[in-house]
Amino acid sequence: MATFFAGYDGVLCDLDGVVYAGPHTIDTAVLTLNTLIDQGVPVAFVTNNASKSATEVADLLRAMGIATNPEHIMTSAQAVVELLLVKYEPQAGPVLVTGSEQLAVQIQAAGFSITVTAADSPQVVVQGFNPQLGWYDLAQASFAIEQGAGWLASNLDLTIPLSEGIAPGNGSLVNAVAQATGTRPEVAAGKPAPVMFTTMAQKFSMTHPLVVGDRLDTDILGAANAGFDGALVETGIHRSADTEAFRELVTPDWVLPNLGALLREPLDAYRGRDD
């Protein structure tokens, strides 16, 4: 298998803040990813954003010029549906989806009935990112949880990087429901849980992949949880200056200015660890 940079045999790449910010691609991202793909390096995309399906994400990436397809993409929506199937039974009652239409479609495809109101006595609330969510949606989730429904979250990212700046992420909306109910989701399916990383690494026969992301608390911690090396790219949420504050939680193996650094020889200046 082809290798790159410091001998890695695959890339597990975050999207928001690494490949794009809102509708705009980040400098060097498209060229770097296409170069690695052309060299035969497996490149898979692992995102905590649950607002789009894998097909929609692939369409977006192809429109940006990246040579990929839905098989190379895993979202936290897919992960939370898999978790839902493990923890709940379709016949036990409806699922209140506090998230995007695509998340609801995936849950329905898994055999569950869907509702948007607590009056239908849902067995569980599944909360995923949707920029169109409003007070009513969060209130219905709160009512259902107060009535005894379970609660799963696609991810707990507090922020999301957009071209205009940093905006509230799914974790911030989860916190609003948590404040109202005095409880927390029983589990979050997305990063820093390792399942998306290990699933995609196994799928593409990566034995020594590099996880690339812009967040220390999700991407880099998730890499460590999966037993993989992590590279923080300084194009999204966190920067090199943030690593000290997270030192007790996780330390990136590499800190890179952008994805383009992966096409060069690894420099000592890029190392995040002292060992």
pLDDT tens digits in sequence order for the chain, 275 residues long: 799 999 999 999 999 999 999 889 999 999 999 999 999 999 999 999 888 899 999 999 999 999 999 999 999 999 999 999 999 999 999 999 999 999 999 999 999 999 999 999 999 999 999 999 999 999 999 999 999 999 999 999 999 888 899 999 999 999 999 999 999 999 999 999 998 999 999 999 999 999 999 999 999 999 999 999 999 999 999 999 999 999 999 999 999 999 999 999 998 989 986 65
Count structural domains, the chain: 2
| Model pTM score | 0.84
Contact 183, 145 (CB under 8 A): yes
Q: Could you count the other beta carbons within 10 Å of the beta carbon of residue 55?
A: 12
Domain finish residue from 173, 188, 203: 188
pLDDT in the model for residue 275: 53
Q: How many Å apart are CA 164 and CA 105, to the nearest integer?
A: 30
Residue 32 sits at the vertex; the CA angle it makes with 30 and 34, to the nearest 5 degrees, is 65
Shared domain check, 148 and 125: yes
For residue 205, give the CATH number of its domain: 3.40.50.1000
Going by C-beta distance under 8 Å and a sequence separation of 6 or more, which residues neighbour residue 177? Answer: 98, 127, 138, 141, 142, 145, 151
Domain finish residue from 153, 188, 223: 188
Q: How many Å apart are CA 100 and CA 53, to the nearest integer?
A: 10
pLDDT in the model for residue 163: 82
Q: Give me the phi and psi of 168, to 5 degrees please.
A: -65, 135
Contact 94, 114 (CB under 8 A): yes
Catalytic residue among 16, 137, 157, 219: 16
Shared domain check, 153 and 210: no
DSSP-derived secondary structure letter, 74? E
Shared domain check, 121 and 107: yes
Q: Give me the phi and psi of 56, to 5 degrees please.
A: -65, -40
State which amino acid sits at residue 155: N
Residue 61 lies in a domain: no
Catalytic residue among 14, 214, 219, 253: 14
Residue 2 lies in a domain: no
Domain extent, residue 128, equals 77-188
Instruction: Report the run of H or E that residue 83 belongs to, with start and end.
Output: helix 76-87
Active site residue 16: yes
pLDDT in the model for residue 161: 84
Supply 130's token pair.
């949707």
